[in-house]
Amino acid sequence: MHQFYSSEGSLIKKIAAILIFGFFSLQVSAQIDVVSNNNGTQLANIIAGNGVTIENVNFNCADGAAGTFNCVSCNLGIDSGIVLTTGCAYNVPGPNTSGSTSCYNFYPGDQDLADLEGLPISELFDACVLEFDMTVLSDSVRFNYVFASEEYPEYACSGFNDVFAFFISGPGIAGQQNIALIPGTNVPVSINTVNEGPGLNSNNSCDVTYPEYYVDNGDGFTYPYDASPYYLQYDGLTTVLQANAGGLQPCQVYHLKLAISDVGDEAYDSGVFIEANSLNSNAVSLDSVRTTVPGVKDAVRGCVDGIFTFQLQNPVNQNTTVHFEIGGTAVAGVDYNNVPDSVIIHAGNSSAQIFIVPTVHPAQDSLTVVVYLFTTCSNVPYDSAVLLILDTVGRAVSVSSPVICVGTPDTLTIFPTISGDTYSWSPGGGSLSSIIVTPTITTTYTVTYHSVCGTNTASGKVTVVQAPTLVTTTDTICAEGTAQISATPSVNGGTYSWSPGGYTTSTISVSPGIT
């Protein structure tokens, strides 16, 4: 419980500061972009991440008190998300050119926040509340936030202790709990608990409390805070903190209430920033698929195994059993080793792996192994990953044109290519998987490829022919006679187009009539 001071001197000092500093506000291009938003459902879904499903949203804020933000280059510590304020969201961007920014909403306080502070609700003003139900995937939930206020630093350890809280309630929780706590304690985060001691308010004394979580942001007329839009308007803020709730029941519905309010009077704005997509239940995800050979992305029969990694967002104190299903075109027990349908992430660890060991088969097409993760709440997969199995045998050289004329370039390519392989062509001396050649005679090209599976060769033949000439059976025929004309030598696989006549074979019969 915080002791409340409502001395007339303190209130007059705040009003005077507002009048004085208000004259010195400057308009500077902001490095944090804030857009007012009064749609509670949109705001709730912006912060929702993995393992959380949101419904039944209730939003109770004054117009313009909440919004979304993007930190282009600012000292907030969070890139994007939502902000709930006791004033106006448009006052968030800096530079900090006022020590007393205030926006009067003439909005009431919140009873839960009043109870948390041990104050009558009449002492709270301008509450902004976003609350909703959420179905959680695991036994915990967490999100990242920053609290900031114009009450810093003057009114640290005073009755003007603007309050915020994150209340969670539901199965297994007695009443509701505030999870906006100083790390490792049960102490609520507030102006009076995170600070560097009292400022101008010398009548109120207290010890410096948890200064490691406090970020000084000037006082409205201190360089560089008042000159650069890198800094927010608020005079002080916390470091990025994390709200955590454990001991939850997977697949159950919990209620989360995010609330902030002025205390003592409506002056001096405060705001709480919540990171986008950071509201996560401790779900397991599939990490990027790897193999047992660095630099090789696909499994290869006989020499490279695949690895699926199951990643827990945060380690926990007990074993976590992860159930999964396997699909794809490869068949377990035939194309690769049999694997179980679950894996255990041991207590204190954040990941576990399964290995896919391909069996050695005669040459065949590449096959896939797909791992699916399902929630315990439904039969719909929420994550998946794919491993490709390649064959070690059956590599060949493709030739773009098996038959060419003298002086015509041709392209030879080895397939399939496997990451990490090196190549050496002969003749030609190329070192890539594909080469361009212009042989003058029929030539067989051989590529030696060095891979994790050993050294082998493949070859391709390019047949070179002379350009054909026209040969006729006779030079002179009667007016209605017929003559044969041939393109010699004929090229196997070659195409022909005669004019006139449009013939397409290498030898044609013509009756040209009278010349």
DSSP assignment letter at 501:
T
pLDDT, tens digit, 9 for 90 and up, residues 309-343: 999 877 877 788 888 999 999 999 999 999 999 99
Rounded distance between C-alpha atoms, residue 76 and residue 84, angstroms: 14
CB 262, CB 108: distance < 8 Å: no
pLDDT, tens digit, 9 for 90 and up, residues 422-465: 899 999 888 898 999 999 999 999 999 887 777 888 899 999 88
Taking residues 159-176, what's their average pLDDT? Answer: 93
Q: Is the pLDDT of residue 24 over 70?
A: no
CB 353, CB 343: distance < 8 Å: yes
User: What radius of gyration, in Å, describes the C-alpha atoms of the chain?
Assistant: 37
Q: Which two tokens stand for residue 359?
A: 């069996």
User: pLDDT category, 18, cuts 50, 70, 90?
Assistant: very low
pLDDT > 70 in the chain, percent: 87
SS3 content of the chain, % helix, strand, coil (to 5): 10, 40, 55
Which of 234, 262, 255 minimizes the C-alpha distance to 62?
A: 262
Residues 6+ apart with CB under 8 A from 423: 414, 430, 431, 432, 433, 447, 448, 449, 450
User: pLDDT category, 284, cuts 50, 70, 90?
Assistant: confident
Other beta carbons within 10 Å of 79: 12
pLDDT of 64 reads: 97
Rounded distance between C-alpha atoms, residue 357 and residue 292, angstroms: 10
In three-state secondary structure terms, 84 is strand
pLDDT of 510 reads: 79
pLDDT of 475 reads: 65
DSSP assignment letter at 196:
S
Going from the C-alpha of 250 to that of each of 31, 134, 167, 201, 375, the distances in angstroms are 40, 11, 19, 47, 9
Q: Is the pLDDT of residue 11 over 50?
A: no
Q: pLDDT higher for 103 or 365?
A: 103
pLDDT, tens digit, 9 for 90 and up, residues 120-141: 999 999 999 999 999 998 888 9
501 half-sphere exposure, CB direction, 13 A CA radius: 14
Query: Minimum mean pLDDT among 92-96, 200-204, 212-216, 510-514: which range?
Result: 200-204
Beta strand spans in 438-498 (E): 443-451, 454-465, 469-472, 483-488
pLDDT of 244 reads: 92
User: pLDDT category, 27, cuts 50, 70, 90?
Assistant: very low
CA geometry: angle at 421 spanning 417 and 426, to 5°?
A: 85
pLDDT, tens digit, 9 for 90 and up, residues 168-195: 999 999 999 999 999 999 999 999 889 8
Which of 369, 420, 361, 418 minimizes the C-alpha distance to 393?
A: 361
Other beta carbons within 10 Å of 311: 17
pLDDT of 405 reads: 84
Mean pLDDT of the chain: 85
Q: Is the pLDDT of residue 306 over 80?
A: yes
Rounded distance between C-alpha atoms, residue 399 and residue 395, angstroms: 13
Q: What spatial distance separates the first Cα and last Cα of the chain, rounded to whole Å?
A: 117
pLDDT, tens digit, 9 for 90 and up, residues 470-500: 666 666 777 677 778 877 766 666 677 787 8
Amino acid at 392: T
Residues 6+ apart with CB under 8 A from 43: 37, 59, 66, 68, 82, 130
Taking residues 262-290, what's their average pLDDT? Answer: 91
pLDDT of 336 reads: 94
CB 92, CB 71: distance < 8 Å: no
DSSP assignment letter at 90:
G
Taking residues 250-275, what's their average pLDDT? Answer: 95
Q: pLDDT higher for 139 or 160?
A: 139
Taking residues 254-279, what's their average pLDDT? Answer: 96
Q: Is the pLDDT of residue 80 over 70?
A: yes
CB 218, CB 179: distance < 8 Å: no
Rounded distance between C-alpha atoms, residue 91 and residue 104, angstroms: 12
Identify which of 372-376, 434-438, 507-511 has the greatest average pLDDT.
Answer: 434-438
Place of tokens 């896919």: 356
Rounded distance between C-alpha atoms, residue 39 and residue 375, angstroms: 29
Amino acid at 439: P
pLDDT of 3 reads: 32
pLDDT of 219 reads: 92
